[in-house]
Chain A
């Protein structure tokens, strides 16, 4: 087993609830998002979405569109924009097959079937309207029963099937069991900033203003598709107006705009309309999950057997890995997670905030409650009974696991004790049905790979650089805090450059691993710069640090000092000046060594408690209280981390009660494809939320002890709310979102 990672840094800025460094830019309108750019000679592009889900385009009135004043060019499969790379290939991670007018076949509603480029947005939109496509439509397959299942090679980015122990024996040994089927709908990320690009070519050099969650890595993708060296691609993504997993990969409409800019020789801006977000840019695929739990006479789980039928497109694979949410949490005698795919006439799903974990946890946590109820036990007591001391199946120790403390602190804060076992027995003073439910939150604590550079300038200030992405999680602030600590500088003496692809690779802003990874790289680069500076100082006879020995030197408040004798020291600027005034540059990287991942199971944990009130006649539901207690390793910035956790919990509320894309079975189109019909919570839906961060030191997860908080808030929350509704009403609804009509019908 690897030794605990030493933590040589004294945490100064880290751990402080610093306000966002990009705050002023964001409240004054100065923060520049992709579509805010307006280079000279700019053209506007609008892509034309298919209004059927399956069939082919027979004709379009290209002449009418071209004739409209201001329209510059119209691209269709007849004069399609050729890419150098194959849009049907998948040569790298995050590559999904794209429809870039290479065919007149239609595989999903909102698939691009043409691109109109014009001098103004108005002309482009009108040109698009004038195309008036004529279709040959075929019967679309848009529900889980419309096609046969198949065995997928992978689920999400993980295994399609994982088995630990003897599952059949686990079923056979069960004294009691539940055998349940739940459904979750397709959901769409709907970041407030729709996907957008401003593309400008200079010969074979390409500049993209593009919201991107994997900035440096994406250079290679665009280089491949456009047949230019990756270093010829500059991506600028200082701010993303939300990503949620949808902005790590290339998407067809953006590719078309870039290709058009090259073909026409002028910069092109394309911004998806809100309705166009429902198709070509990924979504959370629908699932039907079959879950079976068995317990012995002592209420210990003999088996947890979770299967998901997950929808994908007819032309690519992304299987919502819902069943994998049942790995890693409860101490079942046998564990199985398995997936079946079903190919539908929909856009290819993709990773959406907590992919698999959100939809899988929703069902797992409901099933745990159903099992507890069958056992006649309190839901929390049942979960504690099956608390895993080591990772189920693998037996690996957890790098840290403060889940017991989460349960305890969450339950205490919520007032869980005294909850009646029986459903439908609590009322408030207004006569509303009251229910309490809970769920466990779990999210893995991954690291990807990142690099960074740290410079100590002659004036003693710091410059740190990595191509990190801030989509709202607070990278601009939290990563700078980490870097400031590594350099031993106050935060205001550190300049942080991020958000462009000409910097060291900041890795992927996803998987809740960005702070750990990019932060780890910055930390490592900062420590390297300090080590180099210490070498200079200790070798310099004129320095009070001369001969002190590198190992005992630390950086504090812009000075190098001898640890334990902080009077003996010298400030950075003086050391650098005496050495000739050259800036001192350090580099570093971060990733998780395979042996560290093999030795420990690494997860963030949490416990979520919900109170709902339900009108006994109208069945209108309100979440009146929601308490989440989370243990996620070291919290770099409590203010921003809590915002992330609140946001995740609200996504959980949204999953439980709001979000669902509904298909018209005749055309295959999504009938509620806008923000009026596709419901997400608004301010009035959010009241009585509390977040508790439970202290957790993790000496194994990474050098900084960080686990990540971006996605865990959704997990646990969905189940907690659904369980509370069951507790309030006595009705168990096994389909999300839970609707008034489901309760009226009695489930």
Chain B
């Protein structure tokens, strides 16, 4: 039995027919839509490498069946920058050396974007560390990650203020 879904990924509409209901959002992105930026680290929702935004909410795409995201708006790491202009979180990760091998980085960054949007952590480092603890980094670039998220949160808040002023 095939399943037809329609979803938006990074602003582009995709109509997909799945012959297999077992396909996860992660494998849909990586293997069928040829967007391998989102990474598979555990395939069990334990490491966060596959984090994407679904309707603005951060989710583990490996634990999300593709058929459940019909009509959803997905943002992945490939959709964060605007042309050559990096998202503030991306810039901050580079400046603070918030990664080494880079494999968990797409998930870390998507998680950070989600965390900042959620507004729970503000620029409080301890809360940021807690809020980012669903994303494992085996290289252990945690110090740089936490500082990058704090820095980006501050920069984005300042931008917001400037815009609303």
A→B interface (CB under 8 Å) = 19-20, 22-33, 35-38, 44, 120-123, 125-126, 190-194, 239-244, 271, 273-274, 470-474, 639-640, 642-644, 646-647, 650-651, 654, 674-676, 680-687, 689
Residues from chain B with a CB closer than 8 A to the CB of A120 are 20, 23, 31
A675 engages B136 (CB within 8 Å) = yes
A681 engages B31 (CB within 8 Å) = no
27 contacts between A and B (CB under 8 A): A27-B105, A28-B37, A28-B77, A28-B80, A28-B86, A29-B37, A29-B78, A32-B36, A36-B30, A36-B36, A36-B37, A192-B103, A194-B40, A244-B138, A472-B102, A643-B144, A644-B100, A646-B141, A646-B144, A647-B139, A674-B42, A675-B42, A681-B140, A682-B133, A682-B142, A684-B129, A686-B142
Which of A29, A44, A191 touches B106 (beta carbons < 8 Å)?
Answer: A29
Residues from chain B with a CB closer than 8 A to the CB of A121 are 27, 31
A242 engages B44 (CB within 8 Å) = no
Judged by a CB distance under 8 angstroms, whether B104 is at the interface is yes
A126-B22 contact given A33-B39, A647-B139, A674-B42, CB 8 Å threshold: yes
B94 engages A643 (CB within 8 Å) = no
Query: Which of B30, B40, B43 has most A Cβ within 10 Å?
Result: B40
A683 engages B132 (CB within 8 Å) = yes
Query: Which of A121, A644, A683, A689 has most B Cβ within 10 Å?
Result: A683
Residues from chain B with a CB closer than 8 A to the CB of A241 are 39, 101-104
Judged by a CB distance under 8 angstroms, whether B153 is at the interface is no
Residues from chain B with a CB closer than 8 A to the CB of A31 are 102
Instruction: Give Cα A271 to B103, complex, Å.
Output: 14
A193 engages B103 (CB within 8 Å) = yes
Tell me the minimal C-beta distance from B11 to chain A in angstroms. 15
Instruction: Give Cα A472 to B130, complex, Å.
Output: 24
A27-B42 contact given A121-B31, A646-B143, A675-B136, CB 8 Å threshold: no
Judged by a CB distance under 8 angstroms, whether B146 is at the interface is yes
Instruction: Give Cα A651 to B103, complex, Å.
Output: 18
A687-B97 contact given A33-B39, A123-B20, A675-B42, CB 8 Å threshold: no
Judged by a CB distance under 8 angstroms, whether B25 is at the interface is no
A242 engages B97 (CB within 8 Å) = no
Instruction: Give Cα A241 to B44, complex, Å.
Output: 18
Residues from chain A with a CB closer than 8 A to the CB of B22 are 122, 125-126
Judged by a CB distance under 8 angstroms, whether B126 is at the interface is yes
Instruction: Give Cα A240 to B102, complex, Å.
Output: 8
Excluding A27-B77, A36-B37, 10 further A-B contacts by CB distance (< 8 Å) are A24-B86, A25-B102, A31-B102, A192-B39, A193-B101, A643-B141, A647-B100, A680-B136, A682-B134, A687-B129
Chain B residue with Cβ nearest A691: B143
B103 engages A242 (CB within 8 Å) = yes
B78 engages A28 (CB within 8 Å) = yes
Residues from chain A with a CB closer than 8 A to the CB of B97 are 19-20, 639-640, 642-643
Instruction: Give Cα A530 to B91, complex, Å.
Output: 36
Instruction: Give Cα A23 to B86, complex, Å.
Output: 11
B36 engages A38 (CB within 8 Å) = yes
Which of A20, A30, A192 touches B137 (beta carbons < 8 Å)?
Answer: A192
Which of B31, B40, B134, B140 touches A650 (beta carbons < 8 Å)?
Answer: B140
Instruction: Give Cα A126 to B20, complex, Å.
Output: 11
Tell me the minimal C-beta distance from B72 to chain A in angstroms. 19
Instruction: Give Cα A51 to B104, complex, Å.
Output: 29
Instruction: Give Cα A27 to B39, complex, Å.
Output: 12
Residues from chain B with a CB closer than 8 A to the CB of A639 are 97
A28-B81 contact given A122-B27, A274-B44, A683-B135, CB 8 Å threshold: yes
B41 engages A193 (CB within 8 Å) = yes
Instruction: Give Cα A397 to B147, complex, Å.
Output: 42
B129 engages A686 (CB within 8 Å) = yes
A242-B78 contact given A121-B31, A643-B97, A675-B47, CB 8 Å threshold: no
Judged by a CB distance under 8 angstroms, whether B49 is at the interface is yes
A30-B100 contact given A647-B140, A675-B47, CB 8 Å threshold: no
Which of B37, B49, B101 touches A240 (beta carbons < 8 Å)?
Answer: B101
Residues from chain B with a CB closer than 8 A to the CB of A650 are 140, 142
Chain A residue with Cβ nearest B30: A36
Instruction: Give Cα A650 to B94, complex, Å.
Output: 20
A192-B141 contact given A26-B99, A686-B129, CB 8 Å threshold: no
Tell me the minimal C-beta distance from A350 to chain B in angstroms. 16
Judged by a CB distance under 8 angstroms, whether B38 is at the interface is yes
Chain B residue with Cβ nearest A193: B103
Instruction: Give Cα A499 to B55, complex, Å.
Output: 38
Residues from chain B with a CB closer than 8 A to the CB of A674 are 42, 44, 46
Instruction: Give Cα A590 to B94, complex, Å.
Output: 31
Residues of B12-70 at the interface with A, using a CB-CB cut-off of 8 Å, are: 20, 22-23, 27, 30-31, 34-44, 46-47, 49
Residues 144-164 of B, flagged 1 when their CB comes within 8 A of A and 0 if not, give 111000000000000000000
Judged by a CB distance under 8 angstroms, whether B74 is at the interface is no
Instruction: Give Cα A472 to B100, complex, Å.
Output: 4
A274-B42 contact given A24-B94, A123-B20, A686-B140, CB 8 Å threshold: yes
Tell me the minimal C-beta distance from A269 to chain B in angstroms. 9
Chain B residue with Cβ nearest A471: B101
Instruction: Give Cα A680 to B77, complex, Å.
Output: 25
Residues from chain B with a CB closer than 8 A to the CB of A37 are 36
